[in-house]
Structure 1
Amino acid sequence: MNILFLCTGNSCRSQMAEGWTRHLHPEIGVWSAGVVRHGMNQDAVRVMGEAGVDISAQTSKTVDDLPEVEFDSVVTLCGHAAENCPYFPSRAKRVHRGFDDPPELAAGLENEEDRLAIYRRVRDEIRAMVEGLPGSLED
């Protein structure tokens, strides 16, 4: 099974989903990408590391940067990606599983713990979705 997690900037949510999938389901081929490339979000890297999942070697990329892969599922993790998801000429099933955007919610928070609490909540929500793979991608 090959899964692509797609988000707007491939900096946080899709990176977390890729990291969790590699960690919990090594039998699944997994990639992440963005509609645009924003670079890795260091708070996402930090909170994933706290959970024992190192995503520091992952890179932010767009769909055009991906190798040619026959995806079984393309999972959008935000509304913008769902609306702007590129066409995949394959049997890929498009699935939307939306999650809050930690950088947006944490913007302007000066207290580090309050900011990281948002990232941790979304990290744990994404983990719950990934734990249920592939069943969690059913309608």
Structure 2
Amino acid sequence: LEGKTRFDHGLFLFDLHHMPAGCGTWPAFWLTDENVWPNNGEIDIVESANYLEYAKTALHTSDKCDMSGVKEDQKMTGDWDIAVGVPDPVTGKTDMIPRKSTDCFVYDKHQWLNQGCVAVDKAKGRIGV
């Protein structure tokens, strides 16, 4: 399913019994303003890929938006996703230091391109953070 309806605000509800899985699949429900991306942001409400057994929730934004000062146990029940093995965009050297993805900027130098701040909840039987 795909839609291009524009909303100024809203409450979006959906009930999933399962999501597609398999090599090459990328099931997702996300909101964005593709005409002014990333300045107007992107919200990946639920996203998975291939045979991943859990879903991810993410924010993709312009520079200066991060969640580094937020204590994990105060705002969500999941965990920040970890980026490791990311090549530095200037030197090209691979950085093997694991870093939590708390910077929502899509071009942050210590995250994968367009990673944003990603939260995961690996609890069985539920999706979301």
Category of TM-score, reference length = shorter chain: under 0.3
- TM-score under structure 2 length normalisation: 0.25
- TM-score under structure 1 length normalisation: 0.24
Structure with larger Rg = 2
Greater RCO, CA 8 A, separation 6+ = 1
